[in-house]
Amino acid sequence: KQEVTQIPAALSVPEGENLVLNCSFTDSAIYNLQWFRQDPGKGLTSLLLIQSSQREQTSGRLNASLDKSSGRSTLYIAASQPGDSATYLCAVNAGNMLTFGGGTRLMVKP
C-alpha cells in the first residue's frame, strides 16, 4: 500500500526566505507526483505535476523535484511572500487514483 509522508507538518518563516517542503512515498511505481495548494474554505489547486520520467518542474517561484528511486520529492519556494501562506499537499498517482500526504501548513510572516 502506497504511503505518502510530508515533513514538516507546519512551517513559519519571515517574508523573503527561500524554503523547502518535503514529500516521501513508499512505492516508486508511480505515473506522476503533484503538488497542490489548499486555501481555507477552498478546494485544491494544482501547482506542479512531475511525470515519472522527469526530474523537476518549475513554475514562477516554485520548483519541484522528483527522485523516484529514493521515493522523494521537494517543493522549493523562492523569495516567499505572505500570499504563499496555505497548506501544501503532495499526491502520487500510481494509476487511476491519488494518494495524498498529510500536508505542510505554511505561514509566511510580513
Contact between 89 and other proteins by CB under 8 A: the answer reads: yes
Q: Which is nearer to other proteins, 91 or 108 (CB)?
A: 91
Omega prior to 8 cis, within 30 of 0: yes
Residues in 2-31 that interact with other proteins by CB under 8 A: 4, 6, 9, 31
# of chain residues touching other proteins (CB under 8 A)? 26
What distance in Å separates the CA atoms of residue 59 and residue 49, rounded to the nearest whole number? Answer: 10
Among 11, 13, 44, 62, binds other proteins (CB under 8 A): 44
What distance in Å separates the CA atoms of residue 30 and residue 79, rounded to the nearest whole number? Answer: 31
User: Can you say whether residue 102 is alpha, beta or left, with left for phi > 0 and alpha for psi between -120 and 50 degrees?
Assistant: alpha
Residue holding cell 523516484? 68
Task: Using CB under 8 A, list all residues that contact other proteins.
Answer: 4, 6, 9, 31-32, 34, 41-44, 46, 49, 51-53, 89, 91, 93, 95-98, 100-103
